[in-house]
Every structure is written in C-alpha cells, then in structure tokens.
Amino acid sequence: MLLRLLRTHLRPYKKPIGLLVLLQFLQTCASLYLPSLNADIIDNGVVNGDTGYILLFGGVMIAVSVVQVVCNVGAVYYGARTASALGRDVRAAVFERVQSFSAREVGQFGAPSLITRTTNDVQQVQMLVLMAFTLMVSAPIMCVGGIVMALGQDVPLSAVLLAVVPVLGVSVALIVKRMRPLFRTMQERLDTVNRVLREQITGNRVIRAFVKDDYERERFKGSNTELTDVSMATGRLMALMFPTVMTVVNVSSVAVVWFGAHRIDSGGMEIGALTAFLAYLMQIVMSVMMATFMFMMVPRAEVCAERIEEVLSTESSVVPPSEPVRELERRGHLEVRSADFRYPGAEESVLKDVELVARPGETTAIIGSTGSGKSTLLGLVPRLFDVTGGEVLVDGVDVRKLEPGLMARTVGLVPQKPYLFSGTVATNLRYGKPDATDEELWHALEVAQAADFVKGLEHGLDAPIAQGGTNVSGGQRQRLAIARTLVQRPEIYLFDDSFSALDYKTDALLRDALKEETAESTVVIVAQRVSTIRDADRIVVLDEGRVVGSGRHHELMAGNETYREIVLSQLTEAEAA
C-alpha cells in the first residue's frame, strides 16, 4: 500500500527527485573520499614530516568538504519541498474523496477517523518520505561505498565487516517485525481518543446537565491509557534498537583496533590505513543506523498508508452521472416512484415501495412515528443517498442523472440538525448563493423570522458565528438555516423537521411568511408537530417505511387510524377537528 501510494503521488516530481538523488550521490562520494585523503596525509605527510604535502592535501580536504556541504544542503532543500508537496497532494486527494462520499460512507468510517487519516496519517507518510530523501538515499550508497573503500585499505581486516553487517541487519529486522502491528493498534487507538474527545467537547452541555463529568473523565482516561500502553510498548522496542546497534558498533570497533594493531605490528598495514578503515567502519555503521531509523518509521507509515488507501479506494454509493442532464424545465415537480432503500447489511429496508407526488404551488407534508423513514425519504431527493429500488424524479428526470450543480440550484434542503459554519451571519447565508446582495439576505431573514435577532447582534450581518453555530440558540440556528435556503431560491424546498425548535407563535408566523414566499414553489415538510402540517395541501403518512395514508387533514382524521393516533397524542378531539 505504501509503495503504491508513493508511486502514484510522487510521479509528478520525477525531476526534483532525480536531482536530489544526484546531489545525495555527490555528497556521499565526497564523504567517502575524505577518510582516504586523511590516510594519505598521515602516511605521507605526518609520518614523513612533509608540511607541504599536509597543506596541499588539507586544502583538497577542505574543497571536498565544501562540495559535500553544498550538495547536502541542496538535497535537503529538494527533499523537504518534494515531501511537503506529497503531503499536500495526498491531503487534497483524501479531502476530494471524502467530499464525494454520501452519508453512508461517512458513517462507515466515522468523522474522527477521517480527520485522523487526513491529518496524522498523511503527516506520518510525509515524514517518512522526508527522512527517505535526506537519509535513506545516501545510506545504501554510503554502505556499499564504505565496504568498497574499506577493502581498498586492507582486505584481511575487512573480514570484520562480514560479521558486523549481517548481525546488524538481523537485529533490526527482528525488532521492526514486532513493531508493525503495534503501530496499527496505535493509530486505531488514536482514532478512539479523537472520537471520545470530540464527543465530550460537542456534548459538553449534556454532560453537565446529567452531572456525568466523572464518568466522562474515566472514559477518556481509559481510552488515553490504552493509547499510552501501546505507545509505551512501541517506545520500548524503539529504545532497544539503538543500544543494540551501538553494542555491535562498539564491539566491531574494538575488533578492528585489535586486529589492525597486529597488522601494523607485522608491517602489513599503515597507521593511516587503520585510521581510514575505522572511519569507513563508522560510515558503514552510520548508514545502517540511518536505515535503522528509517525502518523504525516504515511500519507506522505503512499502516497509515493502508488507512489512507482505504479512503481513496472507497467509491461513493452516490456516483455522479457520466452524461448528466444540465437543464430542466424548472417547474419543480417532484415524484417518488416505488422507492425502496436499505442500508448495507441491514435485514430489512428502511423504505418500502414508497409513492409520493409533490407539485409546484402546493405544500406536501410527511408525518409518521419515530423511525418510520421520514428523514431518509427526504434525503433521497438531494441524493444524500440513492434509492436501492424505484426512482426519484425531478421534473420527470431521475435525480441520478442530474448534474450536481443543477441539483443544488433546484433542490434546497433544511436538514433536521441545521449546521452553521464558522464565519459571519452573511457568509453563512451566502453559502448557496455567493453573489447575493444584502437586500436579499435581509429579505430572507424577514421571511425566516430571524431579522429581529440579527439586527440585535452587535455587527448585524457581520456578526460572528462559531463553528456549528454554537453561539446562537437552537431556534436561531434553525431560522438562519431556513434563511440560507431562502436566499438560494430553489424550485423545491425540503424542510426536514426544521421548525421543531421554534415556539408556536414563531412557527405560525414563519409558515405564513413561507406561504407567500414559496407560492410558486414545491414545498415538502417533514414534521412531528401536527400544528405545523395540518394545513398542508397533502399529508403523507408513513409507518415502518410504508405509505399508509395520503390526503388532507380532515380526510385522514376520518379514515386513517395511524394519522388519527398521532394527532390525538398531541391534540384533543375538539382541537383536531
């Protein structure tokens, strides 16, 4: 998964990667050449007392060092730029894919997990690439080059390398093998901490109302402890890595000095060659240590790449049409034909053979007990999810064939839980129509019965709105959401229990104002409150996902027992009549 992700997203950066590899090669070659120059100075300059030789080759060493530094700086620069570009591209790809998801896919992953995958997981992959460009590219060159140069200094002493390199490789491989599953568990538990924290921040008022502070504190402590435990287990393995490597390094250094001293004593080796050999040994070991550091990051990056690929490879169940319809007659006629909907893996359908017709200039209401499928039915129209059977038609065209932009202009939905974005009142109202004038905004606020409270805010239309609209009340949030849809002026208005937080007086005033504003539009209202929908032109009664009645209020009161039960649970017989 990791290789596939990198291959896909690094393809546009072949030239900077090629330049980076060249610079790393040059700086590594310069690093490998320095010990040989040092050995020559010792053997031919220091031993013979030739100051001119020392100065000459000392100057060469300085020049080589400058080349090494310049190449290293260039390599790090291009490596950082490319890694940052990779992170940007992967985040954008994940964001684009999540934006295409329907409510089904978002629920499948969960918001906390999607946030973690877009931020932390991408960051882990980006960090691995940065380390690979700055360390891993030079590590194999230095390792192989160091072995070759060490053989050039003394072949018999190079036998030490035959023992050092395999021992290091096996030690690192055993530790990395145990780390990989721990990293997957770590990312999953990070998701859990993210989810619990998100719930506690969002549900702060509920927690305080039920005095559940201690319970939630213990719940967070539990998930936090689980993450800490797996992090500690991973940390212990990481802490074991460096002592293991350094033990092998120190033992091998002692062995080189021991056997090298015997070689010098017998005349088979120069002092400078031993010095150079020790330097090459350290370079070889350092390259292995750099690779070790990379191997420590690879397991976690692999897990993160798998989680990213899970998102990127998930296709939305709501697919844009290949040949979209880009124009409609714009009449606003809505028809649902034999619609079925079933969630993946569910035993029964939520909606079963639903028939509904909503015409321009009329108000169609949908009512039913909790869980009867009212909100699901309304969500089929703007394609929050697609029918699993039957059709949903707008102006005679299946909504699955409509161009998304045309759908957004034709259908306006006020959801059951209205959401406001961080910004101002004006930016929220212009969400569906960026070029709306202030006059249009105030008109929409007047119709939505929100103008008075917006005028009462310190900055009016420029008053700040917190994320989710948490700095306004539930009723104010609903009225602003209704005004946002009115600014858009679609042909079809869908109100999903959008008046539930309003008092009866405001509810009545808002419905009266809406009648005039939407006189030529199609209006569909889902409501629990009978007073909200009793004057509708047509009332559709849902029960366990099926339509069990349709008609006006007095007709259903006379002939539909399900509707009658709902009405009498809220009103007296006299009030209902």
Residue 32 in contact with residue 77, Cβ under 8 Å? Answer: no
First to last CA, the chain: 66
Helix then strand then coil, in percent of the chain rounded to 5, is: 65, 10, 20
Question: Whole-angstrom Cα distance, residue 73 to residue 27?
Answer: 10
What residue type is assigned to position 303 of the chain? V
Least confident of 18-22, 283-287, 409-413, 451-455: 283-287
pLDDT higher than threshold 80 for residue 411? yes
pLDDT higher than threshold 80 for residue 222? yes
Q: Partners of 424 in the beta sheet? A: 464
pLDDT-above-70 percentage for the chain: 98
Question: Whole-angstrom Cα distance, residue 444 to residue 390?
Answer: 35
Residue owning tokens 């906390």: 112
pLDDT higher than threshold 80 for residue 512? yes
pLDDT bucket at 576, cuts 50 / 70 / 90: low
- Whole-number mean pLDDT of the chain? 84
Predicted pLDDT at 330:
67
| Burial label, 233 (beta-carbon count in 10 A; 0-12, 13-18, 19+) | middle
* Predicted model pTM: 0.70
Q: Which residues of 18-35 are buried (b: 16+ CB within 10 A; e: fewer)?
A: eebbebbbbbbbbbbbbb
CA-based R_g, the chain, Å: 35
pLDDT higher than threshold 70 for residue 378? yes
Predicted pLDDT at 169:
74
Alpha-carbon distances of 339 from 98, 161, 172, 316, 344, rounded to whole Å: 26, 73, 59, 20, 16
Residue 309 in contact with residue 5, Cβ under 8 Å? Answer: yes
Q: Which of 249-258, 279-288, 506-515 has the highest mean pLDDT?
A: 506-515
pLDDT-above-90 percentage for the chain: 14
Residue owning tokens 């709105």: 465
Mean pLDDT to the nearest integer, 340-344: 83
Assigned token pair, 506? 């405001």
Please compute, for residue 532, the number of CA atoms within 13 A of its CA located in the half-sphere on the CB side.
Answer: 24
Assigned token pair, 87? 């992170």
Predicted pLDDT at 508:
84
Question: Whole-angstrom Cα distance, residue 285 to residue 288?
Answer: 5
Predicted pLDDT at 247:
82
Question: Whole-angstrom Cα distance, residue 498 to residue 510?
Answer: 11
3-class DSSP state of 87? helix
pLDDT per residue as tens digits for the range 160-185? 777 777 777 777 777 777 877 887 78
Predicted pLDDT at 575:
67
Question: Whole-angstrom Cα distance, residue 399 to residue 377?
Answer: 13
Please compute, for residue 225, the number of CA atoms within 13 A of its CA located in the half-sphere on the CB side.
Answer: 6
Range list of H helices, 366-460: 374-380, 404-410, 425-429, 438-447, 451-455
pLDDT bucket at 213, cuts 50 / 70 / 90: confident
pLDDT bucket at 90, cuts 50 / 70 / 90: very high
Mean pLDDT to the nearest integer, 478-499: 90
Predicted pLDDT at 284:
79
Assigned token pair, 412? 């306006």
* Long-range contacts of residues 397-404, Cβ cutoff 8 Å, at least 24 apart: 397/325, 397/328, 400/319, 400/321, 401/321, 401/323, 401/324, 401/325, 402/321, 402/324, 402/325, 402/328, 403/320, 403/321, 403/324, 403/325, 403/326, 404/320, 404/324
Assigned token pair, 121? 């997981």
Question: Whole-angstrom Cα distance, residue 485 to residue 410?
Answer: 11
Mean pLDDT to the nearest integer, 372-378: 87
Please compute, for residue 310, the number of CA atoms within 13 A of its CA located in the half-sphere on the CB side.
Answer: 17
pLDDT per residue as tens digits for the range 535-566? 888 999 988 889 888 888 888 888 888 888 88
Predicted pLDDT at 577:
65
Alpha-carbon distances of 234 from 131, 182, 237, 245, rounded to whole Å: 19, 6, 5, 17
Q: CB count, 10 Å around CB of 209?
A: 9
Residue 27 in contact with residue 71, Cβ under 8 Å? Answer: yes
pLDDT per residue as tens digits for the range 298-329? 777 888 898 899 899 888 878 888 888 888 77
Question: Whole-angstrom Cα distance, residue 288 to residue 172?
Answer: 9
Nearest to 412 by CA among 319, 317, 494, 336: 494
3-class DSSP state of 560? coil
